[in-house]
Amino acid sequence: MSDRLVVQYDCRATGAPAADVARAVAVEQTIEFPAELAPQWIQDEVVGRIESVDDGSFTLSFDPRLFDASIVQLVNVLWGNVSLIPGVRATSIEVPESFRAAVAGPRFGIAGLRERFQAPRRPLLSTALKPIGLSSEEFARTAGELATAGIDLIKDDHSLADQRWSTWEDRVARCSDAVNAADTGAVYVPSLNLPADRLLDAAVRARELGAGAVMVLPGIAGFDMIRAVAEATGLPVMAHPSMVGSHVVGADHGLPVGFVLGMLPRLAGADLSVFPNSGGRFSFSVDQCREIADNCRVSDVPTACWPTPGGGMTLEKVDTIVAQYGHDVCLLIGGDLHRGDLRERATAFRAAVDDLDC
Amino acid sequence: MSDRLVVQYDCRATGAPAADVARAVAVEQTIEFPAELAPQWIQDEVVGRIESVDDGSFTLSFDPRLFDASIVQLVNVLWGNVSLIPGVRATSIEVPESFRAAVAGPRFGIAGLRERFQAPRRPLLSTALKPIGLSSEEFARTAGELATAGIDLIKDDHSLADQRWSTWEDRVARCSDAVNAADTGAVYVPSLNLPADRLLDAAVRARELGAGAVMVLPGIAGFDMIRAVAEATGLPVMAHPSMVGSHVVGADHGLPVGFVLGMLPRLAGADLSVFPNSGGRFSFSVDQCREIADNCRVSDVPTACWPTPGGGMTLEKVDTIVAQYGHDVCLLIGGDLHRGDLRERATAFRAAVDDLDC
């Protein structure tokens, strides 16, 4: 079974017998066809295999020939049409070793970005350019200050796209220049929430303009766009969870949070995966966040990626976050740096990390 | 308010006062920044405006400059980070007239495909090539029979991608040839569940190979990929709901089903939107399906698109489906055509539609 995709589903909320739901999902996710009418070998090899059925749950496994090394086909097999059935929740997903070995995964990951930022042991630091409505000149000035203060990754707020207040190319050019001029090793990370047919070209253009990393929104552009951007640019890629919540917050519907915000972006090649930390503006629990971080870092195939907890984090919480995740974490603090003098607070953010016993 | 994006949210399941959630969402979806620290004009113009607060619900409106005519930014503003908050459900979404007028929308839509298929009044007929595991030769033979029998749109099962049993280019070439050879006006509709960086080129290649339409999976590739494929190919585009369920089936979380399966694909340019009909393998209600169809067809800006109810439909249900939707519907019957002689049952499918009092 080790080379098959293994998915556990909970179906108590459907009110139907688990054996019936198991048979329905095994067919729905593969041949979508009256099973008894399919050739025998297809019934035996292509239809999902029912590994076990318990009270209110069941486990299926899927032949890797259904998806080979394709991210889009992997998610289609494990959640495509089942997503339309209320009351079914995937509770555990084991991706075959062969798949994990076949994908490129993060180009940099934990080791690569430690080298990139000359940070052999400390957590990385990131922040976001806010608020939307400011001009590119204003963002660039702020970006330069943040780089000078010692922040490693200065990203666009995910809502910054190509609005008239700050158009995409103008912002990327100015912010890249400002961050690179600080000469601290910091990188500017533009958001790629752009039209589907412009996104890859824009990613390459961002590199030409001097951006040192890029941010993809897989809930909007698709998870495989992370891979495509990583391949096209060779830059570190940060994944942002906008729109992804639909797949994970349902009590009795959806996918495991650790898979969607940890393993899946990592398989697709994200070097950093942003998620809402416990104790912030969102209601993710400590256990959910641990599950995400575990999925970012467990084993080394593919390369581990940086859990990047954000969503309302503050300077005062740096020690708590590091205690929660250890040193292999990218700290993301946005608005809180603006509660006072920005340069001063950003410098304090870096100092708090440098003071850690690494 | 008519030129703003207006969204009603239900937040009873959060357990928090609606006024508090309203303020949080208005900020989260725009500046994601301590509102009081933003310049006054940004607080006034860029932050979401609270239009009303009731017991357990609230209505926000958003400045169209946040998204202009961008599909990716529209969905980001109305559901991006809110998606990560359990217990918040968008119950109504009004897209500004200016947005509806600015997008290209369906190139063909209801009127265009009536002309394309010389079907001035009748419903359209579609089916899917199944089951995965067959060879391209087998699919092509079946596709030719279905075209000869009078089916208009012969699509790939959405799980057909680029698997070794039937590789993408080989299948598209053979099935296009077989359908075109029938010379009945039918079109073959290949699935574009392909890697993000191959998808647009493949869409153009499908046209070169003779495919008469293409199918996009926006839940996997992103909704804006519908628009990009329509622009790149000029072909009719069918949207398939794989993975989209996460956004719509939650009782107290998610987006309106009519928006996600009707208006949004239509705004992006889908000429046909597939969804699971009531009474089939899925549990969508008659009311939900009416909401989807209404969103496909209400008003004519942009061009109306074809509601395409499927998911376990049978020949015996043709009259019921037409009674449910009227004649502006694309009937999708898959596996049921194989319960007996395929050619005979496909011919009966067409005859059932020709017999309608149109």
d(CA A305, CA A319): 21
Backbone dihedral angles phi then psi of residue B32, each to the nearest 5 degrees: 45, 55
Query: What residue of A is the nearest CA neighbor of B250?
Result: A250
B187-189 and B153-156 strand pairing: parallel
Query: What residue of A is the nearest CA neighbor of B34?
Result: A335
Q: What is the pLDDT confidence band of residue A52, given thresholds at 50, 70 and 90?
A: very high
Burial, B12: exposed, middle or buried (Cβ in 10 Å; 0-12, 13-18, 19+)?
Answer: middle
Q: What is the pLDDT confidence band of residue A281, given thresholds at 50, 70 and 90?
A: confident
- For residue B28, give the nearest of B73, B81, B86 by alpha carbon: B81
Whether B64 contacts chain A with CB within 8 A:
no
Q: Do A249 and B34 touch (CB under 8 A)?
A: no
Instruction: Give the minimum alpha-carbon distance from A159 to chain B in angstroms, rounded to a whole number.
Output: 7
d(CA A303, CA A297): 8
Above 0.85 for ipTM, yes or no?
Answer: yes
Name the residue facing B220 among A75, A227, A232 (closest C-beta): A75
CB-CB neighbors (< 8 A) of B28 in chain A: 281
Q: Do A86 and B251 touch (CB under 8 A)?
A: yes
Q: Do A222 and B227 touch (CB under 8 A)?
A: no
d(CA A43, CA A60): 14
Backbone dihedral angles phi then psi of residue A212, each to the nearest 5 degrees: -95, -5
Q: What is the pLDDT confidence band of residue A1, given thresholds at 50, 70 and 90?
A: low
**Per residue in B148-170, is it b (16+ CB within 10 Å) or e — as a string?**
bbbbbbbbbbbbbbbbebbebeb
Tokens 């989260």 label which residue? B28
* pLDDT (tens place) for every residue of chain B, 358 residues total: 569 999 999 999 999 999 999 999 999 999 999 999 999 999 999 999 999 999 999 999 999 999 999 999 999 999 999 999 999 999 999 999 999 999 999 999 999 999 999 999 999 999 999 999 999 999 999 999 999 999 999 999 999 999 999 999 999 999 999 999 999 999 999 999 999 999 999 999 999 999 999 999 999 999 999 999 999 999 999 999 999 999 999 999 999 999 999 999 999 999 999 999 999 888 899 999 999 999 999 998 999 999 999 999 999 999 999 999 999 999 999 999 999 999 999 999 999 999 997 7
Name the residue facing B339 among A34, A80, A232 (closest C-beta): A34
Classified as helix, coil or strand, B156 is: strand
Sequence-separated (6 or more) residues with CB below 8 Å from residue A82: A9, A25, A28, A29, A88, A90, B245
Instruction: Quote the pLDDT of residue B283.
Output: 86
CB-CB neighbors (< 8 A) of A79 in chain B: 243, 246
Task: Kindly state the DSSP code that residue B252 receives in the 8-state scheme.
Answer: S
d(CA A280, CA B187): 52
Q: Which of A 290-349 lie inside 8 A of B, CB atoms?
A: 311, 334-335, 338-339
The residue type of B137 is E
- Per the structure block, which two tokens stand in for A78? 């494990």
Name the residue facing A42 among B77, B133, B161 (closest C-beta): B133
Name the residue facing A242 among B68, B80, B339 (closest C-beta): B80
Q: Do B249 and A283 touch (CB under 8 A)?
A: no
Backbone dihedral angles phi then psi of residue B62, each to the nearest 5 degrees: -125, 140
CB-CB neighbors (< 8 A) of B245 in chain A: 81-85
Q: Do A164 and B79 touch (CB under 8 A)?
A: no
d(CA B220, CA B164): 21
Sequence-separated (6 or more) residues with CB below 8 Å from residue A243: A217, A219, A220, B75, B76, B79, B80, B83
Q: Do B222 and A224 touch (CB under 8 A)?
A: no
Whether B167 contacts chain A with CB within 8 A:
no
pLDDT digits (tens, 9 = 90+) for A168-221: 999 999 999 999 999 999 999 999 999 999 999 999 999 999 999 999 999 999
d(CA B252, CA A312): 24
d(CA A160, CA A177): 18
Q: Does residue A214 contact residue A233 with C-beta atoms inside 8 Å?
A: yes
Instruction: Give the minimum alpha-carbon distance from B297 to chain A in angstroms, rounded to a whole number.
Output: 22
Backbone dihedral angles phi then psi of residue B26, each to the nearest 5 degrees: -60, -35
Query: What residue of B is the nearest CA neighbor of A253?
Result: B250
Name the residue facing B37 among A162, A255, A338 (closest C-beta): A338
Name the residue facing B66 among A28, A163, A247 (closest C-beta): A163
pLDDT digits (tens, 9 = 90+) for B161-173: 999 999 999 999 9
pLDDT digits (tens, 9 = 90+) for A97-129: 999 999 999 999 999 999 999 999 999 999 999
Query: For all residues of chain A together, what is the average pLDDT?
Result: 97
Q: Do A196 and B85 touch (CB under 8 A)?
A: no
CB-CB neighbors (< 8 A) of B228 in chain A: 195-197
Q: What is the pLDDT confidence band of residue A358, given thresholds at 50, 70 and 90?
A: confident
User: Model's pTM, two decimal places?
Assistant: 0.98
Q: Which of B 88-127 lie inside 8 A of A, CB atoms?
A: none
CB-CB neighbors (< 8 A) of A161 in chain B: 70, 72-73, 76
A124-129 and A89-94 strand pairing: unpaired
Best B82, B84, B281 member to test A by mutation, with max A CBs in 10 Å, is B84
Whether A284 contacts chain B with CB within 8 A:
yes
Best A40, A72, A216, A333 member to test B by mutation, with max B CBs in 10 Å, is A72
Query: In sequence order, what DSSP letters do the residues of B62-85 get, joined into one string?
Result: E-GGGTTT-HHHHHHHHHTTGGGS
Question: Where do the H-state alpha helices sit in A59-106?
Answer: 71-79, 97-102
Best B21, B25, B29, B32 member to test A by mutation, with max A CBs in 10 Å, is B32
Tokens 């509660």 label which residue? A339
Instruction: Give the minimum alpha-carbon distance from A190 to chain B in angstroms, rounded to a whole number.
Output: 15
Whether B220 contacts chain A with CB within 8 A:
yes
Instruction: Give the minimum alpha-carbon distance from B75 to chain A in angstroms, rounded to a whole number.
Output: 8
Q: Do A253 and B246 touch (CB under 8 A)?
A: yes
Best A36, A81, A278 member to test B by mutation, with max B CBs in 10 Å, is A81
Tokens 């552009």 label which residue? A221
Task: Kindly state the DSSP code that residue B256 receives in the 8-state scheme.
Answer: -
Sequence-separated (6 or more) residues with CB below 8 Å from residue A287: none
d(CA B268, CA B72): 10
Query: For all residues of chain B together, what is the average pLDDT?
Result: 97
d(CA A53, CA A300): 32
CB-CB neighbors (< 8 A) of A24 in chain B: 281
Instruction: Quote the pLDDT of residue B2.
Output: 67
CB-CB neighbors (< 8 A) of A160 in chain B: none
pLDDT digits (tens, 9 = 90+) for A311-346: 999 999 999 999 999 999 999 999 999 999 999 999
